[in-house]
């Protein structure tokens, strides 16, 4: 999955000219989403981003452009959820990528057939890209784990298992929504440190978490383990993920079985899934600090050591209701990168399945909050404000310790370096509504 081929060539351009101007979606990207025209009652179907357009895969699959494996994959990509496409596995997915690259390239004969299969992104609405059977959230930033741990457990911020076990927990699939999601501020039980009894009411410490989402491609049966060297063949692609968190609910409920209501009210993903193949130019070595233990053999492979990391630049912004009303641009809260992850996507998937846990196409793994080593690279407001003790001042003078009603959080991601095409993730936006009381 790190082999470069003709689809990655930086010089490639598309006859969809908006793809050629430092777009998130150049011809080297070709991510998948599920969409329809905004406000229409059209059926949802798969689409591929190219520049500022969506290639409607339902239309494209019938345009006579694709054949063989690529046609089979194009038909799967035309469905209202991408699970069938994901299940086809990397070779068939690669065949479709190659065919799409050739058909969308400048000068391609397919231009005449596909030109009327385009819909402007500005005119579409998205759905979840697939049925997410199970959602698992990991905890792979050691910087986040240490920072959060010092707030929840000052005596033992980083627990003894952290450097050995890719810590994760099962999440709630029913409340995962696509970018544009809104949700009421959760209510629930909390207990002030000095109170004798818990109280009930709207969450006062509402937070976001800046994460990567990893979609499982080809699945496994119960009892089957995914070898570390085979793991990437079971990954379809990546998206952006905001794993909303209610910190005050979490603090009171999470012992001994982990976060539950603190996390089950909403999680928001970006509409576009960037395939692992598109990310090939941005792979790098997976390195552990020399003083840290090396992973156990089942989590180690030469491939993972040489190529495990993916340098995805991440940024998180806030747009308050006041900023929105004034027409001001969202303000940046922090920047980070997926390269700070203490565990790779392959290690997460291998660990997850080591017990024989069945993985299904469309299952979603969250990376955990991707905080970087510097305090300003924190992926949650809890970290940025030192547990709510040091308010942030926004450019318009507003202050925040935690999120307020009407706040939208925007997350963006992209890969960029000299000698390779930019691979963008687009963005994920979601907005906090007032609690229903």
Q: CA-to-CA distance for 130 and 231, rounded, in angstroms?
A: 20
Contacting residue, 351, 380, 400, 427, with a second copy by CB under 8 A: 351
Among positions 114-133, residues that touch a second copy (CB under 8 A) are 133
Q: Pick the closer one to a second copy by CB: 122 or 222.
A: 222
Q: How many residues does the chain have?
A: 437
Residue 222 touching a second copy (CB under 8 A)? yes
Handedness of CA 168, 226, 127, 47 (dihedral sign): positive
Task: Look up residue 360 and give its two tokens.
Answer: 């299904």
Write the DSSP string, 48-101. Answer: EEETTEEEEHHHHHTTT---HHHHHHHHHHTSSSTHHHHHT-HHHHHHHHHHHH
Contacting residue, 189, 305, 322, 335, with a second copy by CB under 8 A: 189
139 annotated as a binding-site residue? yes
Q: Pick the closer one to a second copy by CB: 106 or 150.
A: 150
52 annotated as a binding-site residue? no
Q: CA-to-CA distance for 90 and 216, rounded, in angstroms?
A: 11
What element of type H or E holds 326?
helix 321-326
- Beta carbon of residue 145, minimum distance to a second copy (angstroms, whole number): 8
What element of type H or E holds 120?
strand 118-120
Residue 167 touching a second copy (CB under 8 A)? yes
243 annotated as a binding-site residue? yes
Q: Is 254 exposed, middle or buried (0-12, 13-18, 19+ CB in 10 A)?
A: middle
Q: CA-to-CA distance for 308 and 2, rounded, in angstroms?
A: 10
> What are the DSSP E strand ranges found in 198-348?
199-202, 206-207, 210-216, 235-242, 245-246, 267-269, 274-275, 283-284, 309-310, 313-319, 331-337
Contacting residue, 48, 173, 238, 429, with a second copy by CB under 8 A: 173
Stretch that binds a second copy, among 22-30, 38-46, 87-95, 346-354 (CB under 8 A): 346-354
CA gyration radius, the chain: 21
From the candidates 8, 144, 234, 340, which is the catalytic residue?
144
Spell 197-209 as b/e; 16+ CB within 10 A means b.
eeeeebbebbbbb
Secondary structure (3-state) at 240 = strand
- Beta carbon of residue 240, minimum distance to a second copy (angstroms, whole number): 19
The site map against a second copy for 274-313 (x = CB under 8 A) is -------------------x--xxx---------------
Q: Pick the closer one to a second copy by CB: 120 or 223.
A: 223
Among positions 357-386, residues that touch a second copy (CB under 8 A) are 357-360, 363
Residue 258 touching a second copy (CB under 8 A)? yes
Q: Is residue 144 annotated as part of the catalytic site, yes or no?
A: yes
137 annotated as a binding-site residue? yes
Among positions 414-433, residues that touch a second copy (CB under 8 A) are 433
- Beta carbon of residue 184, minimum distance to a second copy (angstroms, whole number): 5
Q: Pick the closer one to a second copy by CB: 139 or 282.
A: 139
Secondary structure (3-state) at 255 = coil
Residue 236 touching a second copy (CB under 8 A)? no
Among positions 55-74, residues that touch a second copy (CB under 8 A) are none
Residue 3 touching a second copy (CB under 8 A)? no
Q: How many residues bind a second copy (CB under 8 A)?
A: 65
Contacting residue, 102, 172, 204, 332, with a second copy by CB under 8 A: 172
Stretch that binds a second copy, among 51-59, 111-119, 172-180, 276-284 (CB under 8 A): 172-180
254 annotated as a binding-site residue? yes
105 annotated as a binding-site residue? no
277 annotated as a binding-site residue? no
Q: CA-to-CA distance for 5 and 142, rounded, in angstroms?
A: 34
Contacting residue, 64, 68, 120, 223, with a second copy by CB under 8 A: 223
Q: CA-to-CA distance for 236 and 219, rounded, in angstroms?
A: 10
Residue 389 touching a second copy (CB under 8 A)? no
Residue 230 touching a second copy (CB under 8 A)? no
| Greatest pairwise CA separation for the chain in angstroms | 74
Q: CA-to-CA distance for 330 and 359, rounded, in angstroms?
A: 37
Q: Residues with catalytic annotation? A: 144
Residues in contact with a second copy by the rule CB under 8 A: 133-134, 136, 139, 149, 152-153, 159, 161, 164-165, 167-175, 177, 183-184, 186-189, 191, 197-198, 200, 222-223, 225, 246, 249, 252-261, 264-266, 293, 296-298, 351-352, 354-360, 363, 433, 436
């Amino acid at each position: 999955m790190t082999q470069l081929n003709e689809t990655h060539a930086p010089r490639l351009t598309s006859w969809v000219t908006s793809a050629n101007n430092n777009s998130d979606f150049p011809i080297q990207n070709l991510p998948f989403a599920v969409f329809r025209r905004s406000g229409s009652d059209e059926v949802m179907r798969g689409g591929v981003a190219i520049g500022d357009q969506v290639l409607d895969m339902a239309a494209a699959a019938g345009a006579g452009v694709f054949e063989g494996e690529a046609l089979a994959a194009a038909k799967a990509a035309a469905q209202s959820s991408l699970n069938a496409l994901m299940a086809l596995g990397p070779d068939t997915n690669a065949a479709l990528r190659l065919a799409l690259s050739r058909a969308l390239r400048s000068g391609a004969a397919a231009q005449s057939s596909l030109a009327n299969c385009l819909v402007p992104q500005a005119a579409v609405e998205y759905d979840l890209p697939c049925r997410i059977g199970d959602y698992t959230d990991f905890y792979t930033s050691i910087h986040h784990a240490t920072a959060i741990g010092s707030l929840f457990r000052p005596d033992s911020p980083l627990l003894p298992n952290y450097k050995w076990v890719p810590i994760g927990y099962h999440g709630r699939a029913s409340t995962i929504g696509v970018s544009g999601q809104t949700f009421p501020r959760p209510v629930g039980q909390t207990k002030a440190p000095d109170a004798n009894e818990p109280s009930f009411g709207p969450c006062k410490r509402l937070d976001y978490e800046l994460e990567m989402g990893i979609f499982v491609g080809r699945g496994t049966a119960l009892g089957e383990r995914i070898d570390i060297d085979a793991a990437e063949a079971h990954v379809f692609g990546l998206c952006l993920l905001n794993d909303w968190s209610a910190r005050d609910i979490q603090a009171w409920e999470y012992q001994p079985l982990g976060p539950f209501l603190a996390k089950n009210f909403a999680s928001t993903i970006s509409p576009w899934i960037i395939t692992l193949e598109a990310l090939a130019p941005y792979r790098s070595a997976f390195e552990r600090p020399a003083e840290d233990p090396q992973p156990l053999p089942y989590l180690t492979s030469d491939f993972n050591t040489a190529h495990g990391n993916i340098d995805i630049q991440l940024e998180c912004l806030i747009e308050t209701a006041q900023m929105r009303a004034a027409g001001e641009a969202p303000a940046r809260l922090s920047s980070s990168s997926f390269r700070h992850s203490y565990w790779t996507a392959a290690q997460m998937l291998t660990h997850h399945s080591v017990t024989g846990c069945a993985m299904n196409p469309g299952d979603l793994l969250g990376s955990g909050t991707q905080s970087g080593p510097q305090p300003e690279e924190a992926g949650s407001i809890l970290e940025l404000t030192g547990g709510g003790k040091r308010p942030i001042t926004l450019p318009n003078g507003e202050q925040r310790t935690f999120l307020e009603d009407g706040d939208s959080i925007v997350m963006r991601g992209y890969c960029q370096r000299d000698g390779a095409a930019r691979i963008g993730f687009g963005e994920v936006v979601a907005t906090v509504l007032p609690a229903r009381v």
